[in-house]
Structure 1
Amino acid sequence: MHELHEYFSLPLYVTCLLEAAFPVLAATMHIKEETIATLKQFDIGDKFSYLPVLPKASVLIPLMVKKGELHTLMTLRSEQLRTSAGEVCFPGGKRDPSDTDDVDTALREAEEEIGLSPGDVQVVCSLFPIINKSGLLVTPVVGFIEESFCPRPNPDEVSAVFTVPLDFFTSEDHYTVFSVSEAVGPVHSFNFVDSESGSQYHIWGLTAVMAILVATLALRKKPKFDVGFDFEDPLSFFKQILHRRMSKL
Protein backbone atom coordinates (compact mmCIF):
# COMPACT_ATOMS: atom_id res chain seq x y z
CA MET A 1 0.00 0.00 0.00
CA HIS A 2 2.88 2.34 0.82
CA GLU A 3 4.36 1.85 -2.65
CA LEU A 4 0.96 2.51 -4.20
CA HIS A 5 0.61 5.82 -2.38
CA GLU A 6 4.10 6.79 -3.50
CA TYR A 7 3.13 6.03 -7.08
CA PHE A 8 0.09 8.29 -6.96
CA SER A 9 1.99 11.12 -5.27
CA LEU A 10 4.60 11.31 -8.02
CA PRO A 11 4.70 14.37 -10.31
CA LEU A 12 2.34 14.05 -13.24
CA TYR A 13 5.08 13.77 -15.85
CA VAL A 14 6.72 10.90 -13.94
CA THR A 15 3.38 9.13 -13.58
CA CYS A 16 2.82 9.46 -17.33
CA LEU A 17 6.24 7.97 -18.01
CA LEU A 18 5.47 5.01 -15.73
CA GLU A 19 2.13 4.48 -17.44
CA ALA A 20 3.82 4.50 -20.82
CA ALA A 21 6.50 2.06 -19.68
CA PHE A 22 4.24 -0.22 -17.63
CA PRO A 23 0.71 0.08 -19.06
CA VAL A 24 -0.54 -3.18 -17.52
CA LEU A 25 0.70 -2.22 -14.05
CA ALA A 26 -0.80 1.25 -14.39
CA ALA A 27 -4.17 -0.17 -15.48
CA THR A 28 -4.15 -2.66 -12.59
CA MET A 29 -3.40 0.09 -10.08
CA HIS A 30 -6.17 2.25 -11.51
CA ILE A 31 -8.77 -0.53 -11.31
CA LYS A 32 -7.70 -1.43 -7.79
CA GLU A 33 -7.74 2.13 -6.44
CA GLU A 34 -11.06 2.92 -8.10
CA THR A 35 -12.63 -0.23 -6.64
CA ILE A 36 -11.29 0.48 -3.16
CA ALA A 37 -12.71 4.02 -3.23
CA THR A 38 -16.09 2.69 -4.35
CA LEU A 39 -16.36 -0.11 -1.80
CA LYS A 40 -15.26 2.04 1.14
CA GLN A 41 -18.50 3.99 0.72
CA PHE A 42 -20.40 0.89 1.84
CA ASP A 43 -18.32 0.05 4.91
CA ILE A 44 -20.76 -0.63 7.76
CA GLY A 45 -18.61 0.86 10.50
CA ASP A 46 -20.70 0.68 13.69
CA LYS A 47 -24.09 0.85 11.94
CA PHE A 48 -25.07 -2.54 13.38
CA SER A 49 -23.69 -2.07 16.88
CA TYR A 50 -27.26 -1.96 18.21
CA LEU A 51 -27.82 -5.64 17.44
CA PRO A 52 -28.12 -8.06 20.36
CA VAL A 53 -25.26 -10.45 20.99
CA LEU A 54 -25.49 -13.22 18.41
CA PRO A 55 -23.10 -16.03 17.45
CA LYS A 56 -20.79 -14.49 14.86
CA ALA A 57 -18.86 -15.57 11.80
CA SER A 58 -16.95 -13.78 9.05
CA VAL A 59 -15.88 -14.54 5.51
CA LEU A 60 -13.11 -12.95 3.50
CA ILE A 61 -14.04 -11.98 -0.05
CA PRO A 62 -10.61 -11.74 -1.70
CA LEU A 63 -10.47 -9.55 -4.81
CA MET A 64 -7.67 -9.34 -7.36
CA VAL A 65 -7.08 -7.74 -10.73
CA LYS A 66 -6.45 -10.49 -13.27
CA LYS A 67 -6.02 -9.82 -17.00
CA GLY A 68 -7.40 -6.34 -16.54
CA GLU A 69 -10.57 -7.53 -14.78
CA LEU A 70 -11.70 -7.89 -11.20
CA HIS A 71 -11.82 -11.48 -9.97
CA THR A 72 -12.72 -13.03 -6.65
CA LEU A 73 -11.17 -16.10 -5.07
CA MET A 74 -13.44 -18.90 -3.86
CA THR A 75 -13.01 -22.32 -2.31
CA LEU A 76 -14.67 -25.72 -2.43
CA ARG A 77 -15.27 -27.15 1.02
CA SER A 78 -13.92 -30.61 1.76
CA GLU A 79 -16.34 -33.53 1.57
CA GLN A 80 -15.09 -34.55 5.03
CA LEU A 81 -16.62 -31.55 6.80
CA ARG A 82 -19.71 -31.99 8.94
CA THR A 83 -21.55 -28.94 7.58
CA SER A 84 -21.92 -27.69 3.99
CA ALA A 85 -19.53 -30.39 2.74
CA GLY A 86 -18.62 -30.07 -0.93
CA GLU A 87 -20.11 -26.59 -1.26
CA VAL A 88 -18.48 -23.49 -2.75
CA CYS A 89 -17.81 -20.71 -0.28
CA PHE A 90 -15.48 -17.87 0.62
CA PRO A 91 -12.74 -18.48 3.21
CA GLY A 92 -14.22 -17.94 6.64
CA GLY A 93 -15.77 -19.37 9.76
CA LYS A 94 -16.98 -18.79 13.30
CA ARG A 95 -15.62 -16.11 15.61
CA ASP A 96 -12.89 -17.39 17.91
CA PRO A 97 -12.58 -16.01 21.48
CA SER A 98 -9.11 -14.74 20.54
CA ASP A 99 -10.43 -12.70 17.58
CA THR A 100 -10.72 -8.99 18.24
CA ASP A 101 -13.31 -8.28 15.54
CA ASP A 102 -14.92 -9.50 12.31
CA VAL A 103 -11.83 -8.66 10.24
CA ASP A 104 -9.64 -10.67 12.60
CA THR A 105 -11.91 -13.69 12.18
CA ALA A 106 -11.92 -13.48 8.38
CA LEU A 107 -8.14 -13.12 8.13
CA ARG A 108 -7.43 -15.91 10.60
CA GLU A 109 -9.77 -18.32 8.83
CA ALA A 110 -8.30 -17.46 5.40
CA GLU A 111 -4.81 -18.22 6.67
CA GLU A 112 -5.93 -21.52 8.21
CA GLU A 113 -7.87 -22.62 5.13
CA ILE A 114 -5.76 -21.49 2.16
CA GLY A 115 -2.47 -20.25 3.61
CA LEU A 116 -3.21 -16.58 2.93
CA SER A 117 -1.12 -14.48 5.31
CA PRO A 118 -3.02 -11.56 6.91
CA GLY A 119 -0.15 -9.30 5.88
CA ASP A 120 -0.87 -10.10 2.23
CA VAL A 121 -4.43 -8.81 2.42
CA GLN A 122 -5.31 -5.15 1.95
CA VAL A 123 -8.58 -4.96 3.87
CA VAL A 124 -11.04 -2.59 2.19
CA CYS A 125 -14.31 -2.77 4.11
CA SER A 126 -16.85 -4.84 6.01
CA LEU A 127 -20.27 -5.14 4.39
CA PHE A 128 -23.77 -5.77 5.68
CA PRO A 129 -24.05 -8.79 8.02
CA ILE A 130 -26.46 -11.59 7.10
CA ILE A 131 -27.91 -14.29 9.36
CA ASN A 132 -27.32 -17.69 7.79
CA LYS A 133 -29.46 -20.83 8.01
CA SER A 134 -27.66 -21.86 11.22
CA GLY A 135 -28.41 -18.58 12.99
CA LEU A 136 -24.87 -17.18 12.68
CA LEU A 137 -24.45 -13.47 12.01
CA VAL A 138 -22.06 -13.55 9.03
CA THR A 139 -20.09 -10.44 8.08
CA PRO A 140 -18.43 -10.24 4.64
CA VAL A 141 -14.98 -8.65 4.78
CA VAL A 142 -13.63 -7.48 1.43
CA GLY A 143 -9.89 -7.27 0.77
CA PHE A 144 -7.44 -7.14 -2.13
CA ILE A 145 -4.76 -9.76 -2.69
CA GLU A 146 -2.10 -10.09 -5.37
CA GLU A 147 -2.82 -12.07 -8.52
CA SER A 148 0.41 -13.97 -7.85
CA PHE A 149 -0.95 -15.44 -4.60
CA CYS A 150 -0.44 -19.22 -4.60
CA PRO A 151 -2.96 -20.90 -2.27
CA ARG A 152 -1.94 -23.74 0.04
CA PRO A 153 -5.30 -25.30 0.87
CA ASN A 154 -5.72 -27.22 4.10
CA PRO A 155 -7.02 -30.60 2.84
CA ASP A 156 -9.09 -31.09 5.98
CA GLU A 157 -11.17 -28.04 5.08
CA VAL A 158 -10.66 -27.17 1.40
CA SER A 159 -10.56 -29.41 -1.66
CA ALA A 160 -10.15 -26.73 -4.36
CA VAL A 161 -9.36 -23.03 -4.79
CA PHE A 162 -10.32 -21.08 -7.90
CA THR A 163 -11.03 -17.55 -9.14
CA VAL A 164 -14.14 -16.19 -10.83
CA PRO A 165 -14.47 -12.96 -12.86
CA LEU A 166 -16.60 -10.65 -10.72
CA ASP A 167 -18.72 -9.69 -13.72
CA PHE A 168 -19.89 -13.32 -13.90
CA PHE A 169 -22.22 -12.55 -10.99
CA THR A 170 -24.07 -9.83 -12.90
CA SER A 171 -24.74 -11.88 -16.05
CA GLU A 172 -28.22 -13.04 -16.94
CA ASP A 173 -26.83 -16.15 -18.63
CA HIS A 174 -25.70 -17.86 -15.43
CA TYR A 175 -28.38 -17.65 -12.79
CA THR A 176 -31.49 -19.31 -11.45
CA VAL A 177 -33.70 -17.91 -8.71
CA PHE A 178 -35.68 -20.22 -6.45
CA SER A 179 -38.72 -19.04 -4.54
CA VAL A 180 -38.08 -19.14 -0.80
CA SER A 181 -39.33 -17.50 2.38
CA GLU A 182 -39.24 -13.69 2.49
CA ALA A 183 -37.25 -14.05 5.69
CA VAL A 184 -34.09 -14.87 3.77
CA GLY A 185 -34.76 -13.22 0.40
CA PRO A 186 -34.23 -14.75 -3.05
CA VAL A 187 -31.76 -17.58 -3.57
CA HIS A 188 -29.47 -17.38 -6.59
CA SER A 189 -27.68 -20.26 -8.28
CA PHE A 190 -24.74 -20.18 -10.70
CA ASN A 191 -22.84 -22.86 -12.56
CA PHE A 192 -19.27 -21.77 -13.20
CA VAL A 193 -16.77 -23.62 -15.36
CA ASP A 194 -13.16 -22.84 -14.50
CA SER A 195 -11.32 -22.33 -17.80
CA GLU A 196 -7.98 -23.29 -16.22
CA SER A 197 -8.99 -26.65 -14.73
CA GLY A 198 -12.17 -27.44 -16.64
CA SER A 199 -13.91 -28.10 -13.32
CA GLN A 200 -17.52 -27.01 -12.84
CA TYR A 201 -18.66 -25.40 -9.60
CA HIS A 202 -22.15 -24.77 -8.28
CA ILE A 203 -22.29 -21.42 -6.49
CA TRP A 204 -25.53 -20.73 -4.65
CA GLY A 205 -27.22 -19.56 -1.47
CA LEU A 206 -25.53 -17.11 0.86
CA THR A 207 -22.22 -17.35 -1.02
CA ALA A 208 -23.96 -16.34 -4.26
CA VAL A 209 -25.73 -13.44 -2.52
CA MET A 210 -22.42 -12.11 -1.20
CA ALA A 211 -20.75 -12.50 -4.60
CA ILE A 212 -23.61 -10.64 -6.30
CA LEU A 213 -23.48 -7.90 -3.69
CA VAL A 214 -19.74 -7.31 -4.08
CA ALA A 215 -19.94 -7.50 -7.87
CA THR A 216 -22.80 -5.00 -7.96
CA LEU A 217 -21.05 -2.54 -5.66
CA ALA A 218 -17.50 -2.90 -6.97
CA LEU A 219 -18.40 -2.80 -10.65
CA ARG A 220 -21.14 -0.21 -10.11
CA LYS A 221 -23.23 -2.34 -12.41
CA LYS A 222 -26.83 -3.43 -11.99
CA PRO A 223 -27.20 -7.19 -12.65
CA LYS A 224 -29.37 -8.34 -15.55
CA PHE A 225 -31.66 -10.12 -13.10
CA ASP A 226 -33.66 -9.18 -10.03
CA VAL A 227 -31.41 -9.33 -6.99
CA GLY A 228 -34.04 -8.23 -4.49
CA PHE A 229 -32.21 -5.14 -3.23
CA ASP A 230 -32.18 -1.53 -4.38
CA PHE A 231 -29.08 -0.93 -6.44
CA GLU A 232 -28.84 2.61 -5.06
CA ASP A 233 -29.61 1.74 -1.43
CA PRO A 234 -28.63 -1.86 -0.63
CA LEU A 235 -28.29 -1.14 3.11
CA SER A 236 -32.07 -0.77 3.57
CA PHE A 237 -32.75 -4.16 2.00
CA PHE A 238 -30.19 -6.01 4.10
CA LYS A 239 -31.48 -4.34 7.26
CA GLN A 240 -34.99 -5.60 6.46
CA ILE A 241 -33.75 -9.14 5.79
CA LEU A 242 -31.69 -9.08 9.00
CA HIS A 243 -34.65 -7.97 11.11
CA ARG A 244 -36.95 -10.58 9.55
CA ARG A 245 -34.48 -13.34 10.31
CA MET A 246 -33.95 -12.07 13.86
CA SER A 247 -37.71 -12.11 14.49
CA LYS A 248 -37.77 -15.81 13.61
CA LEU A 249 -34.85 -16.90 15.80
Structure 2
Amino acid sequence: MLLAAGYLGAVVRGSVLGVFIDTRGRFSLSQLQSVIWSVVVLSLIAGVATGRLVAGVPDALSFSIPSTLLAVMGISIASTVSSIVVKSAKDMQAPERIAASDASDRPRFSQIFLVEEGELADLTVDITKFQNFWFTLILVAAYIFFAGSRIADLGSAMNSLPDFNETFVMLLGISHAGYLAGKIPARQGAPEGLSLAAKLAGAKPVATLGAPKAAPTEYVPRNPRKLG
Protein backbone atom coordinates (compact mmCIF):
# COMPACT_ATOMS: atom_id res chain seq x y z
CA MET A 1 0.00 0.00 0.00
CA LEU A 2 2.85 2.39 0.74
CA LEU A 3 4.42 1.60 -2.62
CA ALA A 4 1.08 2.16 -4.35
CA ALA A 5 0.59 5.48 -2.55
CA GLY A 6 4.11 6.59 -3.45
CA TYR A 7 3.66 5.56 -7.09
CA LEU A 8 0.32 7.36 -7.44
CA GLY A 9 1.73 10.47 -5.81
CA ALA A 10 4.73 10.47 -8.14
CA VAL A 11 2.61 9.94 -11.25
CA VAL A 12 -0.17 12.41 -10.42
CA ARG A 13 1.68 15.08 -8.40
CA GLY A 14 5.33 14.50 -9.27
CA SER A 15 6.27 13.52 -5.70
CA VAL A 16 6.14 10.29 -3.70
CA LEU A 17 4.28 12.32 -1.07
CA GLY A 18 1.75 13.51 -3.65
CA VAL A 19 -1.03 11.39 -2.14
CA PHE A 20 -1.11 13.92 0.72
CA ILE A 21 -1.73 16.88 -1.65
CA ASP A 22 -5.29 18.18 -2.01
CA THR A 23 -7.19 19.86 -4.86
CA ARG A 24 -5.61 23.22 -3.96
CA GLY A 25 -2.20 21.71 -4.63
CA ARG A 26 -1.26 21.91 -0.92
CA PHE A 27 -0.31 19.28 1.64
CA SER A 28 -3.45 18.32 3.56
CA LEU A 29 -3.56 17.13 7.17
CA SER A 30 -6.86 15.31 6.71
CA GLN A 31 -5.53 13.36 3.73
CA LEU A 32 -2.38 12.49 5.68
CA GLN A 33 -4.46 11.13 8.56
CA SER A 34 -6.75 9.10 6.30
CA VAL A 35 -3.79 7.50 4.53
CA ILE A 36 -1.99 6.69 7.81
CA TRP A 37 -5.01 5.08 9.49
CA SER A 38 -5.96 3.19 6.33
CA VAL A 39 -2.45 1.77 5.88
CA VAL A 40 -2.11 0.82 9.57
CA VAL A 41 -5.52 -0.82 9.98
CA LEU A 42 -5.70 -2.54 6.58
CA SER A 43 -2.12 -3.81 6.93
CA LEU A 44 -2.96 -5.21 10.35
CA ILE A 45 -6.08 -6.95 9.04
CA ALA A 46 -4.12 -8.42 6.11
CA GLY A 47 -1.23 -9.47 8.38
CA VAL A 48 -3.41 -11.23 10.95
CA ALA A 49 -5.45 -12.98 8.25
CA THR A 50 -2.30 -14.12 6.44
CA GLY A 51 -0.67 -15.35 9.65
CA ARG A 52 -3.76 -17.39 10.59
CA LEU A 53 -3.98 -18.78 7.06
CA VAL A 54 -0.32 -19.84 7.02
CA ALA A 55 -0.72 -21.46 10.45
CA GLY A 56 -3.63 -23.51 9.16
CA VAL A 57 -6.27 -21.94 11.40
CA PRO A 58 -9.75 -22.92 10.19
CA ASP A 59 -11.61 -19.94 8.76
CA ALA A 60 -8.63 -17.60 8.87
CA LEU A 61 -10.89 -14.55 8.54
CA SER A 62 -12.93 -15.37 11.63
CA PHE A 63 -11.41 -12.71 13.86
CA SER A 64 -13.19 -9.64 15.15
CA ILE A 65 -12.56 -5.92 14.76
CA PRO A 66 -13.26 -3.99 17.99
CA SER A 67 -15.96 -1.35 17.90
CA THR A 68 -13.50 1.24 19.25
CA LEU A 69 -11.18 0.67 16.28
CA LEU A 70 -14.14 1.07 13.92
CA ALA A 71 -14.97 4.30 15.77
CA VAL A 72 -11.42 5.60 15.19
CA MET A 73 -11.69 4.85 11.48
CA GLY A 74 -15.11 6.49 11.37
CA ILE A 75 -13.79 9.64 13.06
CA SER A 76 -10.88 9.85 10.62
CA ILE A 77 -13.06 9.35 7.53
CA ALA A 78 -15.80 11.71 8.77
CA SER A 79 -13.18 14.37 9.53
CA THR A 80 -11.70 14.05 6.04
CA VAL A 81 -15.10 14.30 4.34
CA SER A 82 -16.15 17.26 6.51
CA SER A 83 -12.85 19.01 5.76
CA ILE A 84 -13.39 18.55 2.02
CA VAL A 85 -16.93 19.97 2.29
CA VAL A 86 -15.76 23.06 4.21
CA LYS A 87 -12.86 23.70 1.85
CA SER A 88 -15.01 23.23 -1.25
CA ALA A 89 -17.54 25.75 0.04
CA LYS A 90 -14.81 28.31 0.70
CA ASP A 91 -13.22 27.64 -2.69
CA MET A 92 -16.50 28.58 -4.36
CA GLN A 93 -17.28 31.60 -2.16
CA ALA A 94 -13.93 33.40 -2.05
CA PRO A 95 -11.16 31.74 -4.10
CA GLU A 96 -9.13 34.96 -3.95
CA ARG A 97 -8.59 34.39 -0.20
CA ILE A 98 -7.41 30.78 -0.59
CA ALA A 99 -3.70 29.97 -0.84
CA ALA A 100 -2.85 27.49 -3.59
CA SER A 101 0.28 25.78 -4.87
CA ASP A 102 1.49 24.57 -8.25
CA ALA A 103 4.71 23.60 -9.99
CA SER A 104 6.10 27.12 -9.58
CA ASP A 105 4.71 28.00 -6.13
CA ARG A 106 5.43 24.47 -4.94
CA PRO A 107 3.75 22.72 -2.00
CA ARG A 108 5.75 21.91 1.13
CA PHE A 109 5.07 19.43 3.92
CA SER A 110 4.94 22.18 6.56
CA GLN A 111 1.61 23.28 5.06
CA ILE A 112 -0.14 20.62 7.14
CA PHE A 113 0.56 22.90 10.14
CA LEU A 114 -0.06 26.29 8.52
CA VAL A 115 -3.00 28.61 7.98
CA GLU A 116 -4.27 28.10 4.43
CA GLU A 117 -6.30 31.22 3.68
CA GLY A 118 -6.20 34.98 4.17
CA GLU A 119 -3.23 37.30 4.41
CA LEU A 120 -1.51 35.05 6.98
CA ALA A 121 -1.60 31.95 4.78
CA ASP A 122 1.65 29.96 5.07
CA LEU A 123 2.92 32.57 7.54
CA THR A 124 1.22 31.37 10.75
CA VAL A 125 0.85 28.00 12.46
CA ASP A 126 -2.75 26.82 12.80
CA ILE A 127 -2.85 25.52 16.37
CA THR A 128 -5.85 23.26 15.67
CA LYS A 129 -3.83 21.49 12.97
CA PHE A 130 -0.77 21.29 15.23
CA GLN A 131 -2.59 19.58 18.09
CA ASN A 132 -4.50 17.26 15.78
CA PHE A 133 -1.36 16.13 13.98
CA TRP A 134 0.55 15.24 17.14
CA PHE A 135 -2.40 13.60 18.84
CA THR A 136 -2.93 11.41 15.77
CA LEU A 137 0.76 10.58 15.35
CA ILE A 138 1.22 9.58 19.01
CA LEU A 139 -1.97 7.50 19.02
CA VAL A 140 -0.98 5.71 15.79
CA ALA A 141 2.53 4.98 17.08
CA ALA A 142 1.17 3.64 20.38
CA TYR A 143 -1.35 1.44 18.58
CA ILE A 144 1.30 0.01 16.24
CA PHE A 145 3.52 -0.83 19.23
CA PHE A 146 0.64 -2.42 21.16
CA ALA A 147 -0.51 -4.40 18.12
CA GLY A 148 3.03 -5.68 17.48
CA SER A 149 3.36 -6.81 21.09
CA ARG A 150 0.03 -8.61 21.03
CA ILE A 151 0.79 -10.37 17.75
CA ALA A 152 4.16 -11.50 19.15
CA ASP A 153 2.43 -12.92 22.23
CA LEU A 154 -0.58 -14.58 20.59
CA GLY A 155 0.58 -15.34 17.04
CA SER A 156 -1.98 -17.31 15.05
CA ALA A 157 -4.15 -17.64 18.18
CA MET A 158 -5.06 -13.98 17.83
CA ASN A 159 -8.83 -13.83 17.28
CA SER A 160 -9.36 -10.07 17.49
CA LEU A 161 -7.50 -6.96 16.45
CA PRO A 162 -6.13 -4.91 19.36
CA ASP A 163 -8.72 -2.73 21.07
CA PHE A 164 -8.62 1.00 21.78
CA ASN A 165 -9.26 2.52 25.16
CA GLU A 166 -12.59 4.36 24.95
CA THR A 167 -11.07 7.44 26.59
CA PHE A 168 -8.53 7.75 23.77
CA VAL A 169 -11.30 7.41 21.19
CA MET A 170 -13.16 10.24 22.88
CA LEU A 171 -10.03 12.39 22.98
CA LEU A 172 -9.43 11.72 19.27
CA GLY A 173 -12.98 12.81 18.54
CA ILE A 174 -12.49 16.03 20.52
CA SER A 175 -9.21 16.68 18.69
CA HIS A 176 -10.86 16.28 15.28
CA ALA A 177 -13.83 18.43 16.35
CA GLY A 178 -11.41 21.23 17.25
CA TYR A 179 -9.59 20.78 13.96
CA LEU A 180 -12.82 21.07 11.95
CA ALA A 181 -14.08 24.02 14.01
CA GLY A 182 -10.86 25.85 13.18
CA LYS A 183 -11.64 25.51 9.46
CA ILE A 184 -15.03 27.21 9.59
CA PRO A 185 -14.16 30.90 10.25
CA ALA A 186 -13.34 32.88 7.09
CA ARG A 187 -9.94 34.57 7.32
CA GLN A 188 -9.76 37.96 5.71
CA GLY A 189 -7.29 39.30 3.18
CA ALA A 190 -5.48 37.79 0.22
CA PRO A 191 -2.50 35.44 0.61
CA GLU A 192 0.95 36.30 -0.62
CA GLY A 193 1.93 34.36 -3.72
CA LEU A 194 -0.48 32.15 -5.60
CA SER A 195 -4.18 32.21 -4.68
CA LEU A 196 -6.78 29.74 -5.88
CA ALA A 197 -8.43 32.45 -7.98
CA ALA A 198 -5.11 33.26 -9.66
CA LYS A 199 -4.41 29.58 -10.26
CA LEU A 200 -7.81 29.05 -11.89
CA ALA A 201 -7.23 32.17 -14.01
CA GLY A 202 -3.93 30.76 -15.30
CA ALA A 203 -1.70 33.35 -13.63
CA LYS A 204 2.03 33.15 -14.41
CA PRO A 205 4.88 33.29 -11.87
CA VAL A 206 7.22 36.28 -11.97
CA ALA A 207 10.19 37.38 -9.87
CA THR A 208 8.51 40.67 -8.89
CA LEU A 209 5.06 42.02 -9.53
CA GLY A 210 4.70 44.67 -12.17
CA ALA A 211 1.41 46.31 -13.13
CA PRO A 212 -0.70 43.58 -14.74
CA LYS A 213 -3.39 44.74 -17.14
CA ALA A 214 -6.02 42.44 -15.68
CA ALA A 215 -5.66 40.88 -12.24
CA PRO A 216 -4.92 38.20 -11.47
CA THR A 217 -2.42 37.53 -14.28
CA GLU A 218 0.84 37.40 -12.33
CA TYR A 219 1.97 36.35 -8.89
CA VAL A 220 5.20 36.09 -6.89
CA PRO A 221 5.61 32.52 -5.57
CA ARG A 222 5.77 32.03 -1.78
CA ASN A 223 7.97 28.95 -2.13
CA PRO A 224 9.33 29.23 -5.66
CA ARG A 225 11.15 26.78 -7.83
CA LYS A 226 14.13 28.37 -9.53
CA LEU A 227 12.77 30.01 -12.64
CA GLY A 228 14.52 29.22 -15.85
Would you tell me which structure has more strand in proportion to its own residues?
Answer: 1
Q: Which has the larger radius of gyration?
A: 2
Would you tell me which structure has more helix in proportion to its own residues?
Answer: 2
Higher relative contact order (CA 8 A, sep 6+): 2
